[in-house]
Amino acid sequence: MKQSLLKKVGTIIILYLLTLLSHESVAQSLTIKGKIKDETGQALPGVTVLVKGTTNGATTDTEGNYTLNIPNGSGTLVVSFIGFTTKEVPINNQTTINVNLAPDAKALGEVVVLAYGQQKKETVTGSVATIQTKELVQSPVSNLTNALGGRLPGLITTQRSGEPGVDASTFYIRGVHSLNNSTPIIMVDGVERSMDYLDPNDVESISILKDAAATAVLGMRGANGAVIVTTKRGKIGKPQVSFRAAGGLQEGTRSPRYLGSYDYARLRNEALINDGA
């Protein structure tokens, strides 16, 4: 009788503890909802909402709304979008967090290199995309052309060989099946030439000109777009020495299995017989 009573009491205690744990886990989890707008109140689709220091995040829909589940009510939300200043908002157990993003004045003030001149990004009316040297050097590639894949919107790169020295990528701006299947013109510091052997550390920026307004100054040569490369220039100040080294290994994904001499001779004889030899 005594043992039965102890067993019942133990069972009740265990169930009580499990109930407390379940309540605690429910209390710790939190669902956050909200809307992201610009300064004028316009909803922003495609905005990234991320919990700082984690990979837990969400993206706003076409109406600027997002829903994010987090394990607890602490932490900070990082809201970022191209062309706008990144904003950090403390969660503080809030279930609704609406954020207004301000335009990034610094990004609009950046200088964009065109075919024969420069303009501020905010005054450019043509379709232009630009990448700076700090992004180029992040890719450990021996050929500069292979560092542009997936980094510039509208630029298609095709690498047809992995052999060292002939592993350059081919560029297409208006699709692979463009007029005459032609590649864009490439200009380095205003001179038409190849960029295959340029050191990524020597490049200041690379711009691609995608539409007729941006390539008008090039005439017919810009019919398939243009890739404009600007190399670094000397600056006033103390001399600086930098060193960067990278190493890598290339190998085939899968090596083919070859026939032995006996099997090859047998199949060869069979083929000759089938051909009537």
- 71: pLDDT strictly greater than 90: no
Residue range(s) in the chain whose domain bears CATH number 2.60.40.1120: 30-101
Most confident stretch, 19-23, 117-121, 137-141, 261-265: 261-265
pLDDT digits (tens, 9 = 90+) for 17-32: 666 554 444 446 788 8
Token readout for 175 is: 């699709």
* Predicted local confidence at residue 26, as pLDDT: 46
Residue range(s) in the chain whose domain bears CATH number 2.170.130.10: 109-231
- 231: pLDDT strictly greater than 50: yes
Taken in order 220, 225, 227, 228, the sign of the CA dihedral is positive
Answer whether 171's CB lies under 8 Å from 186's CB.
yes
* pLDDT greater at residue 75 or residue 263: 263
User: Does CATH place domain 109-231 in 2.170.130.10?
Assistant: yes
Answer whether 176's CB lies under 8 Å from 225's CB.
no
- 77: pLDDT strictly greater than 80: yes
Which CATH topology does 30-101 take?
Immunoglobulin-like (2.60.40)
pLDDT digits (tens, 9 = 90+) for 133-181: 778 777 777 788 888 888 888 888 888 877 777 788 888 887 776 556 5
* Predicted local confidence at residue 267, as pLDDT: 92
* Predicted local confidence at residue 272, as pLDDT: 93
pTM score, whole prediction: 0.49
